[in-house]
Amino acid sequence: MQRSTQPSSDCLLTHGGLMIALGTAVCATGSLMAMPIHAALGYLIAAVLIGVCLVMSFLCFGARYKRAMPSRVIAAYITVGSSMVCYTTFSIIYWGWLETPVVGLFAGLLGLLWAGWFMSLAFTFPPASTQAIGLCALAAANSSFGFILASRTGFTRLTAVTAAGCYTILLGVEVYLTAVMLHRQVMRERALDRR
């Protein structure tokens, strides 16, 4: 396994915990939205919280890596992000700003970001290892669910906020457990180096 692509497990533990907390706050915002008076404010707060989580993930990627992310991951993310921006622009023009699924788009981008990271991390392990297979499965699940959240327009705002909050919590748990796996792998390598 290449250590230059390994992030700090302490950084990932912190990031996973923050994502769980932000996802819980988004779910609490969904409870606030149950009252029709607070629906628009709750949706705005949820969009800001998911946006903060997305920006936090972008910033943490820069701090975690000792080298740049693979260009294929960056190209794929820019392509998908650009298509989502086009979709959002079309939604705003066609349906108006109030009907655009911003929370779903942000949650979908967050899922695609972590799916790309799980795939790039899977390539650091031997191809047939359980870690590589597990990380590829996580990447596939996150990209699929992220795409569903981003493109699903039939959700009500309350449903979109609740689904995005639960998805952010799930991503936080995945990041947290990945940090535990990476820490265990590093400890195993250190034990082998001592022998």
For the segment 150-170, the average pLDDT, to the nearest whole number, is 85
Q: Round to whole Å and give the CA distance between 81 and 51.
A: 14
pLDDT band for position 93 (50/70/90)? confident
pLDDT band for position 4 (50/70/90)? very low
pTM across the whole model: 0.77
Mean pLDDT is highest, among 18-22, 127-131, 144-148, for 18-22
For the segment 129-146, the average pLDDT, to the nearest whole number, is 87
62 exposure class (CB count in 10 Å sphere: 0-12, 13-18, 19+): exposed
Q: What is the pLDDT of residue 88?
A: 67
**Which range marks the domain in which residue 58 is found?**
3-194
Our count of domains for the chain comes to 1
pLDDT band for position 195 (50/70/90)? low
Q: What's the chain's average pLDDT?
A: 79
Is pLDDT at 147 greater than 60 in this prediction?
yes
Is pLDDT at 51 greater than 80 in this prediction?
yes
Tokens of 109: 């981008």
